[in-house]
Structure 1
Amino acid sequence: MSVARRPRSTILVLALLALSASGCSTYQPAPRSFAQAAVQPYRLDSGDRLRITVFEQPGLTNTYSVDQAGYIAFPLIGQVAARGQTLPALEGAIASQLKRGYLRDPDVTIEIDRYRPVFVMGEVGRPGQYSYVPGMTAQNAIAIAGGFTPRGNQRDVDVTRKINGRVMTGRTPVSSSVLAGDTIYVRERLF
């Protein structure tokens, strides 16, 4: 009786293990919008630090940070919405507000002084927050974070990214580009 049940119970246990292992794979391949986001103009968000220059106005020229609410505090005009804006759009918004009673024809230029960081987690030597550099790949970020641990999956990673206000996660090759603000998660490999 126990001999006949053993193979069935073994098969049942193996089937349950296979089902549970397949249930662990909750992430999908990266949607098409991941690749499209990498070629779009850079969109500002919390954590970016900007160098704003107003021509011939040294009192207004300075470095400003995008706060957690997505605004920069600019002299004379107060809070300016920066989250989701491109640099040219923000230049135009600041210039148009300065024209309203402060400057006749303001010439505003903005460059990024420091991008918001990327976060590297999982099976890496030193998980944490790291400075973003334009053109960075997931593999570059992992190298900065101390490289893969012996258990780290070196083929692909899970990237969490905000696209058009939505937070999305997808699986991408380690050679794929990352954006400022991305979270890169290195999974443990099975074998």
Structure 2
Amino acid sequence: MRRLTLAMGVASVLLASCSGGPATQAPVVSASPPAYRLAPDDKVRVNVYNEEGLTGTYVVGSDGAVSYPLLGSVQAAGLTLPQLQELLTNRLRAGYVKDPKVSVDITEYRPFYILGEVNKAGQYPYRVGLTVDAAVATAGGFTYRANHRVVAIQHRNQPQEVRYKLEPGVQVLPGDTVRILERFF
């Protein structure tokens, strides 16, 4: 009986190692994107329950701040929406509104830019889930000289552009500059 139990234990270890058991599994990576951080040109909608004078749409200025009633200039650049909501709640609670119920939403993302070998280069409004293919379509499509294999994208606040293989699903983020390269024959 002991031999049978030992043999079954060895067999289960061997079976687990051959079938990709715990020792050979790859680590699980979260597929969720990083939290969106506010930057200049983003528009946010702030709602304060039962306080119409404090509810409205505000633009993050070039200095990264929002001009907000009663509070003045509130630094918003670099914050996530929940962080801005918490900041406004705490500052309003500190002497202006007894128990503020604040919510913050994005109403308009900062634009993206596309240039190079497209028919209508320029600035366009960002939409959630925007890909390079959709950005090119927004800009009137490729010119006849466009490189259909590689695209250069400079992310906002990054010193250099990054080149990506042009495949379906390459994401464009708010504030990105997309450059469609010229092909060489």
* TM more than 0.5: yes
Query: How many residues matched?
Result: 153
Match of residue 36, structure 2, among 42, 65, 80: 42
Structure 1 ranges of 4+ moved more than 4 A: none
Match of residue 47, structure 2, among 53, 78, 90: 53
Q: Which residue of 2 aligns with 1:117?
A: 111
State the Cα deviation string for residues 71-113 of structure 1 (Å, max 9, x = none): 0000001111111110000000111110111011111111111
Structure number with higher relative contact order (C-alpha < 8 Å, ≥ 6 residues apart): 1
Alignment of 1:91-170 (within 5 A): 91-162=85-156, 165-170=157-162
Q: Which residue of 2 aligns with 1:7?
A: none
Q: Which residue of 1 aligns with 2:6?
A: none
State the Cα deviation string for residues 8-40 of structure 1 (Å, max 9, x = none): xxxxxxxxxxxxxxxxxxxxxxxxxxxx9x810
Q: Which residue of 2 aligns with 1:171?
A: 163
Give 1 or 2 for the bigger CA radius of gyration.
2
| Secondary structure of 1:89 counterpart | helix
Percent sequence identity over aligned pairs: 41
State the Cα deviation string for residues 103-162 of structure 1 (Å, max 9, x = none): 111111111111000000000000000010010001110110011000001112100003
Query: Where does the alignment leave 5 or more consecutive residues of structure 1 unmatched?
Result: 1-35
Tell me the distance in 2 between the aligned counterparts of 1:42 and 1:113.
Answer: 13
Q: Following TM superposition, by how much is the alpha carbon of 1:53 offset from its aligned partner in structure 2, in angstroms?
A: 0.4
Tell me the distance in 2 between the aligned counterparts of 1:91 and 1:167.
Answer: 30
TM-score of the superposition, structure 1-length normalised? 0.77
**RMSD (CA atoms):** 1.4
